[in-house]
Structure 1
């Protein structure tokens, strides 16, 4: 199993397959690198080197009681790209991973070719006076209540319903896909960032704008 150890002593698991221009995948909460397996296999067979890691607090990486915040997650990603000496990399982030990618790109543009944000929490996750399209506070409270109330049931409800759209008319749910999502979620730590998820989202909404002013916009348009 491939891992690196960060400067604060946290072990981060990662996958690194193939050769060619690197594509780095950052997963969403509460998942792992495994959520990208289908995309990694696709790009691997099209001549790319594909890398994905389990964010600290998730999956096979360590689950420390501290450092479960965006700045540490970006530092962990930077440690991985430096360890693998990645250059001209394409970074793809989903949900929480989108925020991770946005901040990473702003700080480490010299290593980045392009960035892709997929259903990202950046920049519209939290509804505010300046962001009418974000989520209301009740949405974050519902997530917190679901996880703290019965995490196993909540992690079945999410993939069975909104995550894959299986609750829509005509959808054909896949038990294997639902079970795979549940497996990854149950491996994640119920971290401080979850308990403070509404406040975290407010910070994440503000900070990507600062990151954009730092120059990340150029990489996004690449």
Structure 2
């Protein structure tokens, strides 16, 4: 574990586990979390002989709480700083939620890195907000409301999300895990309110359509059909259509947080894709 300093002076925290000569998977976390959200995947792939890398996005987790640069261009360039520092060009990149947007923008923005495959899970592309060209998106006032709740009482907001829709714990018959809820809250509260406030704009208003259209490598698109955070019809399904070489897997009943609460299924499918 360590830090790399970006061109604009931001310290990005990263984890780098496993043999130096092993194949590498680089994980990208969702909003407003940290690389800790990939524990189930990093331990799994480490045990299967991989080298695993994950970083905390700027303003998130243990990275610098800078006030600016909370947009996809900076996010992608921060990834490049980690990749270049560790010398892990050619890694497979996997992103969850906002991290899925970061993955596709990184691949499109940094073609000098010969990424062979990618995975986007419950991811925000192509565009979350409703526009004239994206009639299936969510109204902007939904995201304005998220910012208002964050500004009013971030601690309560960061409890209500995992205790409710993120993991589907608001569904009849669900059995909430207090540990998972508290871990989500812990990760969120480690980060910067400013970064998270701006990040809502970044994940909801960035249009990834051109990024997706540029990507020619194999991409696995994974989404649950009970995702209450990023509805799958306007995200996973459309992303798979825009990509030139995609495999779409829709998981019946799975929530937005399926890499954590359905780790056995997700990990097995990830491993099969990585090895294919």
Superposition TM-score, scaled by structure 2 size: 0.74
Q: Please name the residue that 2:145 is paired with.
A: 142
Residue 219 of structure 1 deviates from its aligned partner by 4.7
Q: Please name the residue that 2:26 is paired with.
A: 24
Q: Please name the residue that 2:105 is paired with.
A: 103
**Structure 2 contact 128–203 (Cα < 8 Å) conserved:** no
- Alignment of structure 1 residues 1-20 onto 2, 5 Å: 1-19=1-19, 20=22
Determine helix, strand or coil for the equivalent of 1:103: helix
Structure 1 stretch displaced more, 15-24 or 122-131: 122-131
Residue 51 of structure 1 deviates from its aligned partner by 0.6
Superposition TM-score, scaled by structure 1 size: 0.91
**Structure 1 contact 146–154 (Cα < 8 Å) conserved:** yes
1:69 and 2:68 are equivalent in the alignment: no
Change (3 A) 1:27 1:4: same
Instruction: Give the distance between the partners of 1:79 and 1:113, measured in 2 at CA.
Output: 19
- Alignment of structure 1 residues 1-222 onto 2, 5 Å: 1-19=1-19, 20-109=22-111, 110-191=113-194, 194-195=197-198, 197-198=200-201, 201-202=204-205, 204-205=206-207, 208-213=208-213, 215-220=214-219, 221=245
| Count of aligned pairs between the two proteins | 218
Q: In structure 2, list runs of 5 or more residues that go unmatched.
A: 220-244, 247-276
**Structure 2 contact 14–55 (Cα < 8 Å) conserved:** yes
Determine helix, strand or coil for the equivalent of 2:64: coil
**Structure 1 contact 69–193 (Cα < 8 Å) conserved:** no
**Structure 1 contact 31–181 (Cα < 8 Å) conserved:** yes
Structure 1 stretch displaced more, 149-158 or 137-146: 137-146
Instruction: Give the distance between the partners of 1:142 and 1:49, measured in 2 at CA.
Output: 40
**Structure 1 contact 25–91 (Cα < 8 Å) conserved:** yes
Instruction: Give the distance between the partners of 2:116 and 2:25, measured in 1 at CA.
Output: 10
Change (3 A) 1:199 1:80: closer
Determine helix, strand or coil for the equivalent of 1:159: helix
